[in-house]
Structure formats: structure tokens, C-alpha cells
Amino acid sequence: MESEQRSTEDDNIYEIDDGFIEKVRSLPIGVSLDIAKQLDRNAANLPRENGWYQYISGVSNKGDEPIYFLVTYLKQEGEHTLYLDFIETDSDEYLDNFNQDKILK
């Protein structure tokens, strides 16, 4: 599993799996950039859960129609956030996760 390391101005460091990057790149450029910005903004604030993969939902309204998605990530004590998988989903799943406060802000 290859990953790229990203860093923001806030010194927030995270890694992204190559497969994740390819999935996001396959989307329209405006949507891809919007998703990248959302992930960048949220990396530092995601909850830590040692030894467990977690997920969070998001939505991008930058295309012709909203694109709902699910992101699988790993964030443990002393480690950077690792974004593992990107899955397009539907509004029902997004709303379920919204009710559980598992959405990108």
C-alpha cells in the first residue's frame, strides 16, 4: 500500500493511499478539489481510535448533482491521519451518518 504525505499551512500532516487518490481523481476536477479541501480541513479534528478503522461521510455540491461519499481512515495516537478508501454513496447513507455526527464539517 503506497501513500502520499500531505502537509498544510497549519502543519497538519496526513497521508493518503494511492488508490484513494485515483478514485478521487476520476471525479470532475471541481468535485475533486472540493473533496480535497474538506479532507484537509478535517484531518486534525477527526477522532482517534487506536487499532480501528473509522469512517466519515461527506458531500460535494460542486458538480451538476451532489456527490455523497464515505471516507475510511485510520487515526491513532502518535500517528498521522491515514485516508484509506473513498466510496461514492447515496443521500440516505449520508443522512444516517449526519444523524450520528459522522460527517465532514
31 to 12, 47, 67, 69, 99: CA distances (angstroms): 22, 25, 8, 11, 24
Per-residue model confidence as pLDDT tens digits over 15-24: 999 999 999 9
Q: Determine the pLDDT at residue 92.
A: 97
Per-residue model confidence as pLDDT tens digits over 38-74: 999 999 889 999 999 999 999 999 989 999 999 999 9
* pLDDT at position 12 over 70: no
- In order of their start, the domains of the chain are 13-99 (3.30.2310)
